């Protein structure tokens, strides 16, 4: 029996897109895995938003609204979701792989003694059992995993599924959270938004990344301008981050983030293995580099050999003109 629970993350004034993607996919999985399909929203000031999830297929939305859940610390969320799971015994718990989502899923797995798959780009049901596909070694291998525990917990990589509305409505049930002492021991004394981080790298459907070819930190402006025009997030290669040209949360690659956007534009990035493993699962890769022997051209879908300082600003102009037309 007893269905699927989607952990829906509400941030600022909206649900994370990955949460809606996961919920949309769960609707499909429910056909074979069996229902019900429920979502849980844990936050502060989220009660009104909860019913929106009905449009994406949630039949029941459990809501816990509490100050402690408004902080971006996972432990209090784990208490609420674990208690909910102990009541209902969902067979699968699906969580979008945001920073908070990762923390929640990991601690929840230990609390419940449930198997955790830390990254999925596809979910299927085989012989009535959930199966997750996980790219490893930067997509060099694809591993299919099943669970040996009654509850299956998986993180889901953003951009793996399409979010789609079906126009249903959900019944909303309020939960009364109770917290463990160790879960609320960490306090938050202040908070500031990072400037220029309007689009998160992992969630972005388009990423424009800059590398050593930019030559100087101020030249990241050409990358930022193109990104702004495309509604894209800005990435950076290790060389650019190590040189101090761009902050580390933007690093893509082996020692940075792994991303799978619909479009990845590599600007002045050579494409060494170190970078490749962080972005080769992107749908479409475009590369601009002055070195025609750069490894990036061996796996880019479209490559232009030339001066990025000529090409990128022109591309920004062309896209701006096209939007205006």
Partner 1 sequence: MKIAVCVKEVPDTTAEKRLDPSTFRLDRSAGDTMLNEFDKYAVEEAIRLKEAGLAEEVVLVSVGPQKAVDSLRQGGLAMGADRLVLVSDEAIAGSDYLGTARVLAKLVESVGAELVLLGAESTDARGGVMAAALGEALQRPWFTAANTLALEGGTLTGERQTDDGVDSVTVALPAIVSVTKAINEPRYPSLKGIMGSKKKPQEVRSAAEIGVDPGQVGAAGAGTRVVNVETPPPRQAGVKVKDEGDGAQKILDFLIERKIV
Query: By CB under 8 A, what part of segment 12-71 binds partner 1?
Result: 12, 71
Q: Count the Cβ atoms, other than its own, within 10 Å of residue 138.
A: 18
- Considering only residues 158-187, where is the footprint of partner 1 by CB under 8 A? 180, 182-183, 185-187
**Region of residue 128 (phi > 0: left; psi between -120 and 50: alpha; otherwise: beta):** left
Of 292, 299, 44, 71, the C-alpha closest to 187 is: 71
- Which of 86, 310 has the CB closer to partner 1? 310
Question: Hey, what are 278's tokens?
Answer: 């962080």
CB of 169 to partner 1, least distance (A): 29
Q: Which residues are bridge partners to 8 per DSSP?
A: 41
Site for partner 1 in 141-160 (CB under 8 A): 141-149
Q: Binding segment for partner 1 among 27-35, 52-60, 209-217, 277-285 (CB under 8 A)?
A: 277-285
* Candidates 27-35, 46-54, 216-224, 252-260; binding stretch for partner 1 (CB under 8 A): 252-260
For residue 170, whether the previous peptide bond is cis, meaning omega lies within 30 degrees of 0, is: no
Interaction pattern, residues 217-236, with partner 1; x per rule: CB under 8 A:
-------------x------
Residue by residue, DSSP assigns 201-232 as TTT-SEEEEE-GGG-SGGGHHHHHHHHHHHTP
Q: Which is nearer to partner 1, 61 or 78 (CB)?
A: 78
* Cβ at position 223, least distance to partner 1 in Å: 14
Nearer to partner 1, 168 or 212 (CB): 212
Nearer to partner 1 by Cβ, of 59 and 79: the residue is 79
CB-nearer residue toward partner 1: 218 or 322: 322
Determine if 292 is a binding residue for partner 1 (CB under 8 A): yes
Measured between alpha carbons, how far is 165 from 167 in angstroms, rounded to an integer? 6
CB of 55 to partner 1, least distance (A): 24
Cβ(154)–Cβ(18) below 8 Å: no
Choose which of 22, 41, 206, 252 interacts with partner 1 (CB under 8 A).
Answer: 206
Task: Please tell me the distance from the alpha carbon of residue 272 to that of residue 182, in angstroms, as a whole number.
Answer: 43
Can you tell me which of 13, 31, 191, 218 binds partner 1, judged by CB under 8 A?
Answer: 191
Binders of partner 1 in range 81-120 (CB under 8 A): 98-100, 102-111, 113-119
Shortest distance (Å) from residue 260 CB to partner 1: 13
Buried b (16+ CB within 10 A) or exposed e, 146-182: ebeeebbbbbbbbbbbeeeeeeeebebeebebebeee
Bridge partners (DSSP) of residue 263 are 206, 284
Closer by beta carbon to partner 1, 167 or else 187: 187
Tokens for 144? 């299919």
Q: Give the residue, chosen from 44, 215, 304, 320, that forms a contact with partner 1 under the rule CB under 8 A.
A: 304
């Amino acid at each position: 029996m007893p269905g699927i629970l989607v952990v829906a993350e509400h941030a600022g004034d909206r649900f994370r897109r990955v949460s809606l993607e996961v919920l949309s996919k769960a609707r499909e999985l429910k056909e074979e895995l069996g229902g019900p399909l429920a979502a849980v929203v844990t936050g502060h000031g989220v009660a009104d938003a909860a019913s929106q999830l009905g449009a994406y297929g949630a039949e029941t939305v459990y809501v816990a609204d509490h100050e402690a859940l408004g902080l971006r610390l996972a432990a209090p969320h784990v208490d609420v979701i674990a208690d909910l799971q102990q009541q209902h015994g969902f067979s699968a718990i699906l969580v979008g792989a945001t920073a908070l989502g990762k923390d929640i899923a990991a601690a929840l797995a230990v609390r419940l003694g449930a198997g955790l798959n830390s990254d999925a780009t596809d979910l299927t049901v085989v012989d009535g059992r959930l199966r997750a596909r996980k790219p490893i070694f930067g997509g060099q291998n694809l591993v299919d995993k099943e669970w040996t525990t009654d509850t299956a917990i998986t993180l889901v990589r953003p951009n793996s599924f399409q979010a789609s509305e079906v126009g249903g409505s959900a019944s909303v049930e309020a939960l009364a959270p109770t917290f463990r002492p160790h879960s609320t021991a960490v306090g938050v004394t202040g908070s500031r938004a990072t400037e220029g981080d309007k689009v998160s790298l992992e969630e972005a459907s388009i990423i424009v990344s800059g590398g050593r070819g930019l030559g100087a930190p101020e030249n990241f402006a050409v990358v930022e301008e193109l990104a702004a025009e495309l509604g894209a997030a800005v990435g950076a290669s290790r060389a650019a981050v190590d040189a101090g040209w761009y902050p580390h949360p933007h690093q893509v690659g082996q020692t940075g983030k792994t991303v799978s956007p619909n479009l990845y534009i590599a600007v002045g990035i050579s494409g060494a293995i170190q970078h490749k493993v962080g972005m080769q699962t992107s749908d479409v890769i475009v590369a601009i580099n002055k070195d025609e022997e750069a490894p990036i051209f061996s796996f880019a879908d479209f490559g232009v050999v030339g001066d990025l300082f000529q090409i990128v600003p022109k591309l920004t102009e062309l896209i701006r003109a096209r939007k205006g037309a």
